Amino acid sequence: MLFETYAKLLSDFPKGCDQLFGERLSPDGALWLSVDGDAYPSLLFRARRDDPRSDIELRSVSAWFSRDCSIETAEGRSASGVYTVIRLNENDPDIVRILLRLLEETFPETRAPYANKDIAAQILELANLFKQIAGSDTDIIGLWGELHILSQAPNTTHAVRCWCAHKMAKYDFVARGFVLEAKTTLRSRRKHGFSLDQLRPSKAFAVYVASLALVELNSGQTAAELMDHICSNIAEDELRISFLRQCLLKGGQDIYRSTLKLDVFPDGTSLAIFDAASLPVPQVGDGDPIENVRFDLDLTGLPCLSSGEVATILSFGDS
């Protein structure tokens, strides 16, 4: 991963080096990762001198097109050429880790070389994502629960496709014929907040509620560890980057900084799934001028689906 290469470059950075210090990411030298004396990382793409574009200067990232560059290597050699440089304007290790992960998925080495126009388009898209991540309200515990549900699906790729892309979506998962809302708690009781419209929708589809009771353990996993594990099981490039972006929007820029380690209980009772049609809700008449009804519901002890029914739900309609 790029972050491990970045950490190694920082460790090996030569004393007195006044230029980029880097490592080839592709055997032909078409793609490099480098750092400077301020620990800012840069991704360099071999470029054509006759393909100039206006540079991009943003808060989180800069893109300099078709520049003459010289890169010092660990072997004491210097590589020179024309490169397009994507420079991250961050040196906080946890934030750098996020940004490099996004760059790694956006610009896989197997697809090199990249044209300047394609790099520019991707950088603007990533910059917008960085802005959203920096300003997002985070819910690490809720994200952990949704990731755990994804990890329990027999077909990870299909389950990720069913995961709603917007963090403010009405439901967390939408499959053929049903939706699933995930709720996660560290409390002893399964008390969760709902809207009436969630549990009693006007449309004709089944609604299920997944209630996940977790415990904080030193031997557990962080949300970032779960994210990386699931990401490694997604073979499709476009779906993998979409999944990663969604995790970062929900977990925020501190996702790798969070040390909260969670796990399920060993007796297999942590995950319970309920048919929303069987759950009690406030009664509002059709003609009543009442809207946006929200309430807390304690699911502890209420009838839930059998293990076989749970397995069917977690397949998300994949036959």
- What residue ranges do the domains of the chain occupy? 2-134, 140-314
pLDDT at 220: 96
Spatial distance between the Cα atoms of 190 and 206, rounded to a whole number of angstroms: 21
The DSSP 8-state label assigned to residue 163 in this structure reads B
- Nearest CA to 310 out of 174, 163, 149 is that of 149
Are 183 and 145 spatial neighbours (Cβ–Cβ below 8 Å)?
A: yes
Tens digit of each residue's pLDDT (9 = 90 or more) over 118-128: 999 999 988 88
pLDDT at 111: 80
pLDDT at 151: 96
Which neighbouring-strand residues pair with 207?
179
For the chain, how far is it from start to end, CA to CA, in angstroms? 34
Determine how many CB atoms are found less than 10 A away from the CB of residue 38. 7
How big is the chain, counted in residues?
A: 319
Spatial distance between the Cα atoms of 78 and 68, rounded to a whole number of angstroms: 13
- Nearest CA to 307 out of 280, 269, 279, 277 is that of 269
**Mean per-residue pLDDT over the chain, rounded:** 92
Spatial distance between the Cα atoms of 185 and 139, rounded to a whole number of angstroms: 12
pLDDT at 291: 87
Close Cβ partners of 312 (under 8 Å, ≥ 6 residues apart)? none
Low-confidence ranges of the chain (pLDDT < 70): 134-138, 319
Are 31 and 25 spatial neighbours (Cβ–Cβ below 8 Å)?
A: yes
pLDDT at 137: 59
Are 142 and 184 spatial neighbours (Cβ–Cβ below 8 Å)?
A: yes
pLDDT at 134: 65
Spatial distance between the Cα atoms of 166 and 170, rounded to a whole number of angstroms: 9
pLDDT at 311: 96
Spatial distance between the Cα atoms of 47 and 31, rounded to a whole number of angstroms: 10
pLDDT at 54: 93
Report the phi/psi class of residue 23: left, alpha or beta, with left for phi > 0 and alpha for psi in -120 to 50.
beta
pLDDT at 199: 95
pLDDT at 255: 87
